[in-house]
Amino acid sequence: MLEGRWIHLQSQLQTRPHPQPSSSWGCRLYFRPQNKLKQGDSEEEDTGFLEVTVSDMKHPPPELGPMPEGLSPQQVVRRHILGSIVQSERSYVDSLKRILQDYRNPLMEMEPKVLSARKCQVVFFRLKEILQCHSMFQIALASRVAEWDSAEKIGDLFVASFSKSMVLDVYSDYVNNFTTAMSLIKKACLTKPAFLDFLKKRQMASADRVTLYGLMVKPIQRFPQFILLLQDMLKNTPKGHADRLSLQLALTELETLAEKLNEQKRLADQVAEIQQLSKSISDRSSLNKLLSSGQRQLLLCETLTETVYGDRGQLIKSKERKVFLLNDMLVCANINFKGQLEISSLVPLGPKYVVKWSTALPQVQVVEVGQESGAYDKDNVVIHNAGAKKHAPAGQASHNKVYLGPPRLFQELQDLQKDLAVVEQITLLISTLHGTYQNLNMTVAQDWCLALQRMMKVKEEEIHSANKCRLRLLLPGKPDKSGRPISVMVVFITPNPLSKISWVNRLHLAKIGLREENQPGWLCPDEDKKSKAPFWCPILSCHMPAFSKALDLQLSTAVHNPVQSSLLGFSAISTSLPQGYLWVGGGQEGAGGQVEIFSLNRAVPRTVKSFPVASPVLCMEYIPELDEGDPSGTQEPRLSTEQPPGSPHPTMCLGLQDGSIAVYGSVDTGTPCLLTCKSPGLQPILCLRHSPEYLFAGLQDGTVAAYPRSNGGLWDPAEQPTRLAVGTGPVRALLTLDETLWASCANQVTVLDATSLRIQQTFEAHPDTEASVTHMIKAGSGVWMAFSSGSSIRLFHTETLEHLQEINIATRTTFVLPGHKHVRVTSLLICQGSLWVGTDQGIIVLLPVPRLEGIPKITGKGMVSLNGHGGPVEFLAVALSTLAPDVLKGDQEEEEEGEEEKPPELDGPPPREMRKKGILLQYRLRSTSHLPGQLLSVREAPVGGTPAHTEEDGSIYEMADDPDVWVRSRPCARDTPRKEISSVAIISGGRGYRNFNAESPLRGSDADSTLLIWQVPLML
């Protein structure tokens, strides 16, 4: 399509004279992508490009004409979005031209040269080719804009323009070279005053004062901008519109392209950070050799503030450090900014590092407040604060209460403690007075003491809150003279609580990643033969038996029941599995069934309850309360009067082989069996799905039973369900999708209206009548399906039901088991941009799919897990919990400490929004009652008006400084916008555990039903 346009354009441009430079632009046509230009090559050697000229006179930029009358509101919005696309693209192309015209060309022509031609090639690498791509896109966009009011199509243009490998190639080269280009510019600024002067003059001469760096970062930001615009366009394109599928495909192409560029940028930044770190180390050191080996992945690096405290918590010193978490070690470095500060506005300055210490990851422990006793053996370990001149044995630390909060808050608390001691001495002196004085008595003195105690309580709570930004690490130190090991406690202040959670989580998962089963855990048969860093793959957290060894039971299904627990500590959510319970069901043919419930509020699941049921469990469905917006129950209640009332608590529905549906209450209510329904004809329940109005059950005889909700929010067992015939074979899979229900029978899928229960249409999902649809899973605007025979999975569009893609899983599993071509898919799951596929060989395949509302096409070869089962993967389930930081404030230990320490006669602290930002004592006696200010008293001051002349009080005055801003004026996270944290685990079930790594022996028993649990880093 677009290639034809380019060929036609090329012939046009070669047969006409070049126009004036003011209205033309020299470009290159990228016709041989395999001949890539290397950095530093001269232009004459670049044989992969053909010099062409695009004329603004012959091809004027796109221009949207006047709006015609009679447009619908949605058409008006779409027209405005098109205008934004046109304006955005014009601005972007102008920025690219500015880089070349205002910077590259003058630098190439300048005599004497301030930057050599070779360095110019490196700095401006691939910019001409990026401009060429977008010049061609602008020409095609102009024709679409001209015919917009008659056609209203633009999605296919994006697909044609940005799905080409040439676009990925030139942008990849640019992104990979960006760090090198910036460091070269920085070095030139520091060493060549003429170059720095040139950059300053160019910036000042421009109308918008944008720096060269500001212009050169625009290609990195371009595709995210396109994605936002297309998302807006898609939201305003109704179903059935000719442009809708094209827009969804375009969104997929752009998201895929942006993801690949983001990953390359991340890897390039990681390499640059490690190189910068290794430069600061002696070439002969073992650490330098480790960093230079290329085997280290950078998982996290951030500037943290190291704080050193004395024996009583007083601040000794604090300094910013750069902390690097590698896949197997932790490195802390001093930051040394050198160079002229005046260039920092022109190009970002990278710091130089001086390594302070490094330690192997397995030896690093995170120690939380209140957890010290279990973290280490106090008899054999001596603790001291790094950098402190004196250290005390750990046993002595417990005698006095130690505050390790932000330094300034602690200093304020110390001042209050000193003042209280003085006031107590004054009180003792007052008690020795012989006379009676109106303004000097024990009542006033005691009032002062109580007020100060209350202010100290407020300050302690502020310190406790700020401790949520405090990361305490226990590191191995050198043994003392007697040979006893000494552990060093290092305390870092993180920029906000989310940062601390991220560090604790990454440290925890990085340690798990070093276990034998995760080295390696995945095989990545990528095109470039590069294996993905293990940490960015799901990490096998544990494998465990699903049932008691005494029970020889077959696994069938598992479902996560999310439950928010306020009893978990602030950092426990960083290391535990997603909060809630995992229900696992199974049974034995001809015998009863079994349900096992595991608690996930810890690093390893723990059985909390198990009970038998009358028949084997075939399927389960978690039904949240109706006002829960999503399974995790964190969204705001939906204000809808049309929906029937919800059940009092979330429920779990079990479908049994004997045709029963058993509905159980949640674990928190003791898992009572709330009711039991029977299917028509006692047909086995193969699958369950729910909607706000119905519980749908797919039956063995080819019908779907729809159980309506009763007024109590559950289902009336006495009322007969509505039977919906969809075929003659078993209904193996159900899927609720918007307002519809998809039901599979044999190789057909029937789409029904989920409210009226009428059949809308039926389509064929597989040409082979023997290939029954066994699994359906939705992502974006598509549904992936698996079948009872064959090794393929197929993708269908949710709106047009069009077949969009087919993937053969056997081509992936042969990487692990060569020669095994007959593979059957036994389970499917989509979670956070990955399609998990379980097979009858016990192998699990992970395929990348887009996360947005586009088409979930598979765009890469994916990965194969080297951890799997000895038999078929019976199910794949996801455990997902979303936690907001304000929920984390309910730390049980903090609450208990607060209740124990609080004097019963004191009032509680004022609400957060009413609390003063600073505290300054000023005493008010009756003779000074005319002074302004609130009352300072053990009692709250009266609201409004002048305080009455009662017993002598003091007042609170606001100080200029703000205790919420405490480390180099960084804002406290309590004042940042609310952000959610998503914790995700993937659970697979099957017979036994097997490691497919060729070097590992076969482990686990093929007879035992086993659960495998993977974790991914917290989504922050």
Beta strands in 857-997 (DSSP E): 863-865, 867-868, 873-883, 921-924, 953-956, 965-967, 970-971, 981-991, 994-995
Pair (254, 311) in one structural domain: no
Name residue 368's amino acid: E
Residue 71 included in any domain: no
Pair (262, 339) in one structural domain: no
Q: Which residue has the higher pLDDT, 183 or 649?
A: 183
What's the CA angle centered on 225, arms 223 and 229, to 5 degrees?
A: 115
Q: Which residue has the higher pLDDT, 774 or 1007?
A: 774
Residues in CB range of 64: below 8 A, 6 or more apart: 79, 82, 83, 86, 145, 148
How many Å apart are CA 9 and CA 138, to the nearest integer?
Answer: 13
Residues in CB range of 282: below 8 A, 6 or more apart: 288
pLDDT confidence band for 149 (50 / 70 / 90): confident
Judged against a pLDDT cut of 70, whether residue 718 lies above it is answered with yes
Residue with tokens 């609130």: 934
Residue 295 included in any domain: yes
Residue 510 Cα to chain centre, angstroms: 17
Residue 700 included in any domain: no
Instruction: Find the CATH number of the domain harbouring 152.
Output: 1.20.900.10
Residues in CB range of 590: below 8 A, 6 or more apart: none
Judged against a pLDDT cut of 60, whether residue 528 lies above it is answered with no
pLDDT value of position 537: 84
Total domains present in the chain: 2
Highest mean pLDDT among 87-96, 200-209, 289-298, 430-439: 87-96
How many Å apart are CA 334 and CA 308, to the nearest integer?
Answer: 15
Pair (327, 226) in one structural domain: no
Calculate the dihedral angle through the C-alpha atoms of 730, 731, 732, 734, rounding to the nearest 10 degrees. 180
Residue 410 included in any domain: yes
Question: 63: closest CA among 135, 148, 149, 145?
Answer: 145
- What are 311-321's pLDDT values in tens digits? 655 677 888 89
Copy the structure tokens of residue 273: 């950070």
Do residues 329 and 358 make contact, with C-beta atoms less than 8 angstroms apart?
yes
How many Å apart are CA 403 and CA 516, to the nearest integer?
Answer: 40
Do residues 462 and 972 make contact, with C-beta atoms less than 8 angstroms apart?
no
pLDDT value of position 142: 92
pLDDT confidence band for 738 (50 / 70 / 90): confident
DSSP classification of residue 866: S
Question: 734: closest CA among 769, 767, 777?
Answer: 777
Residue 357 Cα to chain centre, angstroms: 30
pLDDT value of position 626: 65
pLDDT value of position 218: 92
DSSP classification of residue 1001: P
Q: Which of 66-80, 832-846, 913-927 has the lowest mean pLDDT?
A: 913-927
Pair (181, 250) in one structural domain: yes
pLDDT value of position 406: 55
Highest mean pLDDT among 116-120, 365-369, 410-414, 476-480: 116-120
Task: For residue 890, give Cα distances in angstroms to 152, 285, 371, 884, 896.
Answer: 53, 46, 17, 11, 10
Which one of 277, 312, 328 terminates a domain? Answer: 277
Global pTM value: 0.77
Residue 338 included in any domain: yes
Backbone angles phi, psi at 494, to 5 degrees: -90, 155
Residues in CB range of 731: below 8 A, 6 or more apart: 686, 687, 698, 699, 700, 702, 703, 704, 743, 744, 745
How many Å apart are CA 320 and CA 237, to the nearest integer?
Answer: 50
DSSP conformation letters of 979-992? --EEEEEEEEEEES
Share of the chain above pLDDT 70, in %: 71
Judged against a pLDDT cut of 60, whether residue 913 lies above it is answered with no
How many Å apart are CA 258 and CA 559, to the nearest integer?
Answer: 33
Question: 427: closest CA among 448, 445, 415, 451?
Answer: 445
Domain that holds residue 188: 25-66+78-277
pLDDT confidence band for 653 (50 / 70 / 90): very high
Strand partners, 492: 306, 471
- What are 565-616's pLDDT values in tens digits? 655 555 666 777 888 899 999 988 877 889 999 988 788 888 988 899 999 9
Task: For residue 839, give Cα distances in angstroms to 786, 862, 934.
Answer: 10, 15, 71
Q: Which of 176-185, 242-251, 350-359 has the lowest mean pLDDT?
A: 350-359
Strand partners, 990: 873, 1010
Judged against a pLDDT cut of 50, whether residue 348 lies above it is answered with yes
pLDDT value of position 624: 86
Which one of 477, 494, 511 terminates a domain? Answer: 494
Question: 981: closest CA among 466, 576, 471, 494?
Answer: 576
Pair (205, 271) in one structural domain: yes
DSSP conformation letters of 613-624? ESS-EEEEEEE-
Q: Once rounded to an integer, what is the mean pLDDT over residues 934-953?
A: 39
Copy the structure tokens of residue 414: 């110390």
Residue 858 included in any domain: no
Question: 872: closest CA among 918, 839, 848?
Answer: 839
Q: Once rounded to an integer, what is the mean pLDDT over residues 499-512?
A: 89
Pair (268, 390) in one structural domain: no
Judged against a pLDDT cut of 50, whether residue 455 lies above it is answered with yes
How many Å apart are CA 951 and CA 953, to the nearest integer?
Answer: 6
pLDDT value of position 374: 44
Task: For residue 298, give Cα distances in angstroms to 228, 302, 507, 519, 547.
Answer: 30, 11, 12, 16, 39
Q: Which residue has the higher pLDDT, 430 or 399?
A: 430
pLDDT value of position 975: 35
Kindly give the pairing relationship between strand 593-599 and strand 803-808: unpaired
Pair (209, 344) in one structural domain: no
Pair (248, 169) in one structural domain: yes
Residue 983 included in any domain: no
The per-residue pLDDT of the chain, averaged, comes to 75
DSSP conformation letters of 513-582? HTSGGGTT-EE---TT-PPPPGGGS-EEEEEEESS-TT---EEEEEEEE----TTS-TTHHHHSPSSSEE
Copy the structure tokens of residue 80: 């405005």
Do residues 212 and 199 make contact, with C-beta atoms less than 8 angstroms apart?
yes
Pair (245, 341) in one structural domain: no
How many Å apart are CA 448 and CA 443, to the nearest integer?
Answer: 9
Pair (117, 251) in one structural domain: yes
Residue 730 included in any domain: no
pLDDT value of position 786: 94
How many Å apart are CA 248 and CA 251, to the nearest integer?
Answer: 5
Q: Which residue has the higher pLDDT, 977 or 685?
A: 685
pLDDT value of position 378: 44
Share of the chain above pLDDT 90, in %: 27
DSSP 3-state assignment of 332?
strand
Which one of 217, 249, 277 terminates a domain? Answer: 277
Q: Once rounded to an integer, what is the mean pLDDT over residues 546-568?
A: 78
Q: Which of 219-223, 444-448, 531-535, 807-811 has the lowest mean pLDDT?
A: 531-535
How many Å apart are CA 627 and CA 640, to the nearest integer?
Answer: 9
Pair (354, 248) in one structural domain: no
pLDDT value of position 334: 87
Pair (290, 269) in one structural domain: no
DSSP conformation letters of 270-294? HHHHHHHHHHTS-TTSHHHHHHHTS
pLDDT value of position 806: 93
pLDDT confidence band for 284 (50 / 70 / 90): low
Q: Which residue has the higher pLDDT, 959 or 804?
A: 804
At what angle are helices 244-279 and 155-162 packed, to 10 degrees? 40
Judged against a pLDDT cut of 70, whether residue 905 lies above it is answered with no
Q: Once rounded to an integer, what is the mean pLDDT over residues 459-471?
A: 74
How many Å apart are CA 421 and CA 490, to the nearest integer?
Answer: 32
Copy the structure tokens of residue 779: 């992502």
